[in-house]
Amino acid sequence: MTEPITDEEQITPGWLTDRLRQNGYLAQGEIVKLSINYFKTFFSHIYRLEVVYSIDAAPALPSKLLLKIPFHDNEAALKMGRDEISIYRALTKAMNDPPVVRCFDAVYFPDSQQSHLLLEDLSDTHFQPELPVPPSMRHCELCVETLAQFHAFWWRHKD
């Protein structure tokens, strides 16, 4: 069983190549350069990864990824990490193209309750408004449209 990343020193081109390959995203090629920028939220360490692939890698792979690791000393953060992993796994298993951020790796280790998520970084095209400012009307409409996609898929679904 793969254990989650718990420390920035573990984030290497070799590790990222392995995770993308094991999850079926990198059939050939490898990561040749990796830049890491760190910030944190209320519950997680966030690593913004800028990736350069070898020339033989698939051109559709994103050049920017986010690695999200819940704080190991915060029980609420660990539970949120576990639950977020469960959601991504369930959605990607059931839906061909779920209307969520593309997830490239979702690892949860029950013994330590540690987890990590490797997601496509959409910060160039998406944003989160400062709290407590509500989203614009257009953003609310987009949220409702996305919820409608989930609702349509799961309506009378066998699961």
Span 120-142, pLDDT tens digits:
999 888 877 777 778 889 988 99
Of residues 158 and 11, the one with the higher pLDDT is 11
Residue 21, H or E segment: helix 13-22
Pair of tokens at residue 51: 């990736």
pLDDT at 65 over 90: yes
What per-residue confidence (pLDDT) applies to 128?
73
CATH entry 2.40.50.100 includes domain 8-128: no
Domain spans in the chain, listed from the N-terminal domain onward: 8-128
pLDDT tens digits, 20-48? 999 999 999 999 999 999 999 999 999 99
The DSSP bridge pattern shows strands 114-120 and 44-53 to be unpaired
Pair of tokens at residue 138: 């257009």
